[in-house]
Structure formats: C-alpha cells, structure tokens
A and B are shown apart, each in its own frame.
Chain A
C-alpha cells in the first residue's frame, strides 16, 4: 500500500474533476443555468479528438484544438436551441431538455463512432516520471498544469476585464444588464460556448488515461454535479478546491477502504456537507471569486 502514490493519483484525478466542472461552474454561477448534457459533451469532446486523429492522422495537440473549437460551437448551438428557456431561467424545463439533448448526443455519437471502446492516443501518456515510490505520466503533469492555468486565467478574466465585468453583471442582474446596451442572450451564448470548450478541453486531456466509450457521459455528469454543488454552487475557486478534495478523497477511499463503494462514499460526503453547512452551499453573487 503506497499512500504517497495514492495521494498523487488523487491530486491528478482531482484536477481532472475540477477541469471537467469549470464550465458548468461558470454556467451556474454567472447564468444560473444547468446543463445535464454536460457529460455527453465531455464524451463527444474525447471522440471528436479521436475521430480527427484517426481520420486525418494529425498530431494529438491539433486534435485537442479541433475538439475545443467543436465544443465551443456545440455550446453556442445549445444556447440558441434553448434560447427562451435560458432567458426565462426555467431551470426545471432546462434540466429536462438538456438531459434529452445529452441522450441525443450519445445516440449520435454511437452512430458516428461505433460501440467499441477506443483509445485517444496522446504521446505524453508514454512518458513517465519516477521519484522514489511515486510516479506519474507527462499527460498527468500537463492535465494538472492546464487545469491550474484555466482556473487562473478564468479568475483574471472575470475580475479584471470588460468581458468579465459583463459576465458578473449578467450574474447579478440580467434585466439591468440590458439597460447598459448589452444583449443578455449574447453573454449567455458566450458562457455556453465557454462551457462547451472547457469540457471538450478537459475531455481531450483526461481521456488518454483510459479507454473511451460513447456511453461514458453519464458518470461524468454525476461526478461533475457533485463537484459543482460541493464547490459552493458556481464559485470558481470553490469548484477547484472541491474537485481536488473529491479526487484525493476517492483515491484514498478506494485504496484504504474499497474501490467498489467510492461513488457511494462521495455522495455520502455530499449529503453530509449539505446537512452540516447548507448556508455555505447557497449560490451567491460572489461566484467570480
């Protein structure tokens, strides 16, 4: 039993959770919207990158870029499709239609990419670093670094730029934002596009670690939802901390107790957190921090 290695694994998985969740965090924090098709968008990001590579033979990093563009476009299209629901912030109906949209994406991906597990081949997955009892791959290191960069850049954009101010305005009072001459639907479209791009980016970095399946979306959406809720519903820094915490928790729980009960344990943690400190979990205007 190598606790140090489990801790490293937990940190890597935790950054993966945080990166997968960052788009939804912004969506919930800034637009007060949900997207239960998030997991299928993750799956599609991985498969689009795989499809680009197997069809054209371009290098991995080019495929990453292609998948991110695809994700941004998919997010923007979703916002256009569900425009009325996003503007009226009809959460129940939005939950249902995004769940359905996710299922449609899963079906389409099954048709396009087939039922077999595939491997998104990253050259960085073959490079590994060993330090005494612990080791990790270059892919893991890139994942951790990219996650930190995404969170820092998002924080700076939200708090230091004109675009960030527009997003915070939309979060605080969408109606009043219109009186500043801004179209709220444009801001929402940008947020959806960011969500799509971020989850596709996360998928291309995380997916090379394991085989990919067109049915893998749902597990992602469940775990992402836990990260977003534990992170304080839409707090950017909160979702980073929550992702990291859940990663370390699942790795250690899996190693020390049993891997079979990890998901159940995460939900027990979620329920405990919501019972013990519900006030801290409520959405707030300070999501940008």
Chain B
C-alpha cells in the first residue's frame, strides 16, 4: 500500500510571481521525507499544490505522479479517492463538530482499494486521548488534540500517501516528540509521508530524507546523516556548536 510520489518541473504561481519551482523531487515508497525551510520558503504552497488544494487558487504547472499516474490537475476529492491525503496547516478539523463527528463524517474509499483502512476505533487506539474527548466539540480541544484529530481524520480516508503540513506547530515540546513518533509508526506500518516541519532538530529525529527549501526551490536534499553535515543546514538551523 505504500506509494511513490514523483514531481517534475513543478511551478506554482500566484498572479505573476512564481512561488515554487521544483525540477525534480521523489518520495520513495514507505519512507518519511521531510521538507524544511524558513517561513515563506514555499513549504505549504508545495504540499497544498501537490494535493491541488488551496484557499488562494494558484496556477500549477508541471507533472506530479503518484505511482506512475499523472495526478496534477485532479480535484482534491479525486486525490482523496486515490489515496493522496493532505492535512493542511493549522485548522485541519471542524470546530463545530464533535471529535466523533469529525471522524465519522468523511467519504472514505469505497470498494477494494488494497489500502489500510482505519476504523474510528483504530484512530482512538492510535490517539487514546481522542477517545476520552469523543463527544466534545473540536473547538474545545487543545492544539495538540486538534492535530491528533486532524491526522486521525486523514487516516479515516485510508491514505497510501500522506502530506502533513506542520503537524507539530504550536505544540508543547513533549507533544511534538509524541506526534512525530506516531507519524514514524505510521510509516513503519507502510504509509509514505511527506512532512513539512519547521523544527529541524525534531524533523531529523524521525525522517529518512530531508529537502531544504529556499525561495521555492530545493537547494539541498539528502539523508538525515548527509544533511546533518551540510554547511547550509548547520549554519542556518543547527548553529555552530553542532559543526
């Protein structure tokens, strides 16, 4: 059920300004790839663009392939049907619905997909805290609980490829570790994940491969071990003491 994503000559533009320009980027099946970079580097634009989902409707050119199939211009619902699932930054849940409603009111895949399906109870198994708060409105949850719910909701669609946009944003340090480790567990279970993460140290703990984005371009890519020694990473994100 794991899945390969291949991006070629991708350009995402708002009006006249190209925000993201990526010649070639591959996420191998069953791996956890991280996208790191400063604010405004285009990380969110990239993952939203892959899912063809945005509140601002940019122009997207290029080719995005999921397991060989061109999925570039498909609608967000069609991406969901094919197993490419985005968890957008910030509000990934419905505040006016209860936790349980957030998990049940989805149009998951129908028929035989060969993908791992998560029942509501499976999500509660993964995030026991959500079971305790099942009848609470999502609007009353803490930031960490909302992120758990957003990821749980995404799993209900039985994805084979998950795009996660800063699932650790605004979380307490202890919860950041828990969240990223849970994502690692999902990858060990066969899921493929592209993770946007601002916390570079935390990202390095769990990812297999990292891509450094600057002004919409991938300026460095490599395994965590390679990237740890990359002077650009050390200078900008890890500080001199690590070098």
A162 close to B (CB within 8 Å): yes
The interface residues of chain A lying within 8 Å CB-to-CB of B87 are: 179
- Which residues from chain A sit less than 8 Å from chain B, CB to CB? 162, 165-166, 168-169, 171-173, 175-176, 178-183, 285-286, 288
Q: Determine the distance from Cα of A199 to Cα of B183 in the docked complex, in whole angstroms.
A: 49
Q: Which of B50-84 contact A (CB under 8 A)?
A: 51, 53, 55, 75-77, 80-81
What is the CB-to-nearest-CB distance from B74 to chain A, in angstroms, rounded to a whole number? 12
In the docked arrangement, what's the CA distance between A56 and B113, Å? 51
Given contact pairs A175-B53, A175-B55, A180 touches B95 in the complex (Cβ within 8 A): no
A180–B92 touching, CB < 8 Å: no
CA distance A166 to B107 in the complex (A): 10
Shortest CB distance A162–B (Å): 6
* Shortest CB distance A85–B (Å): 15
Known pairs A165-B104, A166-B105; A285 contacts B53 (CB<8 A): no
Bound Cα distance A168, B105 (Å): 10
Chain B interface size range = 20 to 34
B141 to chain A, nearest CB (A): 15
Interchain CA distance A288-B95 in the complex, whole Å: 13
Residue of chain A at shortest CB distance from B55 = A175
User: In the complex, what residues of B have CB within 8 A of residue A165's CB?
Assistant: 97, 101, 104-105
Measured CB to CB, the closest approach of chain B to A190, in angstroms, equals: 13
Known A169-B105, A181-B81, A182-B107; contact A176-B92, beta-carbon cutoff 8 A: yes
Cα A183 to Cα B105 with chains together (Å): 13
User: Given A165-B104, A166-B105, A169-B105, is A179 in contact with B97 using a C-beta cutoff of 8 Å?
Assistant: no
| B96 contacts A by Cβ under 8 Å | yes
Output the residue of A168, A179, A285, A286 with the most chain B CB within 10 A. A179
B130 at the A/B interface (Cβ < 8 Å)?
A: no
- Closest-by-CB residue of A relative to B76 is A178
Contact partner of A182 (CB less than 8 A), chosen from B51, B77, B101, B109, is B77
Cα distance A288–B101 in the bound complex, in angstroms: 15
Quote the shortest CB–CB distance from B87 to chain A (angstroms): 8
Q: Is the CB of B106 within 8 A of A181?
A: yes
Q: Does B30 interact with chain A (Cβ within 8 Å)?
A: no
Q: Which residue of B lies closest to A177 (CB)?
A: B94
Chain B, residue nearest A289 (CB): B96
Q: Complex Cα distance A165/B93, Å?
A: 13
Question: CA separation between A166 and B104, bound complex, in Å?
Answer: 10
In the complex, the 8 A-B pairs of residues with the closest C-beta atoms, listed nearest first: A165-B105, A181-B107, A181-B80, A178-B76, A180-B106, A182-B107, A165-B101, A285-B96
Is there an interface contact between B94 and A168, defined as CB atoms closer than 8 Å? yes
B88 at the interface (CB under 8 A from A): yes
* A182 / chain B contacts, CB cutoff of 8 Å: 77, 106-107
